[in-house]
Amino acid sequence: MKRLEGRTALVTGAGRGVGAALARMLAGEGAAVLVNDLDSGPAEETVAAIRAAGGRALAFPGDVASPGFAGGFLQAAIDGLGGADIIVNNAGYIWNAGIASTTDEQWDAMQEVHLKAAFRIARAWAPWLAEQAAKERAAGRGFTRKMVNVSSVSGTHGAWKQIGYSAAKAGLVGLTKSLAREWGPLNVTVNAVAFGLIETRLTQPIAGETTIEVAGRRHRVGLTKELLEGIYAQTPLRRGGRPEDGAGAVLLFCLPESDYITGQVIEADGGANM
C-alpha cells in the first residue's frame, strides 16, 4: 500500500516548478491532489500528468491572494476529492527592492501572497479539522494531518534588497510555529521548508528582460550568471536545487514517517547556510 493512500492533498502554486513536482510525488504516494495555480493551463497540465500516471487529481486555478480563495479551495477538495488531509502553501513570486524604494503596494503584495494567503487557508481549514478530530476521537481512530509552508532562507537569514519577500517568509515561520502549538491536540503537524536556490523560472539565468506576469503586471525575475556562479561556489553541493529537490524536502513532512515532527523549519539549500 502506498504511504498516502486514501489521503487528499492540496497544493498551491502547483502548475510549475516545485509545486508541480510535489503534486506528482504526492500522487505517486497514493494521495488525491487538488492542484492550484494562478493560471489554468499549467494547473491542467499537472493534473493531466498525474492522471496519465494513474493518479487522481483536480485543478483549482485562482489567485491565492484573493479574499475568497481559501474557502473555495478547501470546499473543492472536500466536495471533489473527499477530504483535506495535507495542505502545502507553496504559491508565490518575487517583487524585490531595497527599503528606500519599496512601495506600500510592493510590500502589501508580498505579504498577501506569501503570508496572508497561508493564514486565510489555515483559518478556513480550522473548523473542518476540529470536526474531524472530534469524530475520530469518538471512534477511537484517526491519523495525522499535515500543513507544510514553503518559506525561504531569505526569511530565516535575510536577503539583500528583498525587504517585503524576506519579511513575509519570516512571518510564515512564525505562523508555522504558532499553528503547530494550536493544532497539535487535533493531531495535525505544521512544519516549514525554507528553500535556498531552487532552479525555477524565478531564479533562471537572466536573458534580456526575463519577466513573469502576475495580476496584469510584469515582474522581472532571474539571476545574473555571476550571482548564480557565486551561490554555487558557496554551496557545499556545488549546484542549485532542482524542483524535485525542493519537492522532496516538502514531501518529507507530508509522509507518516514525520508524524512526530511539528513546528520545525528545515532549510533545503544544499548546505549553503549550515
The residues assigned a catalytic role are 165
Length of the chain: 274
Element at 89 (helix H, strand E): strand 86-89
The Cα–Cα gap between 176 and 146 comes to 11
The Cα–Cα gap between 104 and 164 comes to 10
Per-position DSSP letters for 35-57, written without gaps between them: E--SSHHHHHHHHHHHHHTT--E
3-state secondary structure of 188: strand
Is the Cβ–Cβ distance between 171 and 151 less than 8 Å?
A: no
84, with CB counted inside 10 A (0-12, 13-18, 19+), is buried
Strand partners for 193? 150, 266
The Cα–Cα gap between 57 and 141 comes to 26
Instruction: Please work out, in degrees rounded to the nearest 5, the angle formed at the alpha carbon of residue 175 by the alpha carbons of 170 and 178.
Output: 130
Give the count of beta carbons closer than 10 Å to the beta carbon of residue 54: 8
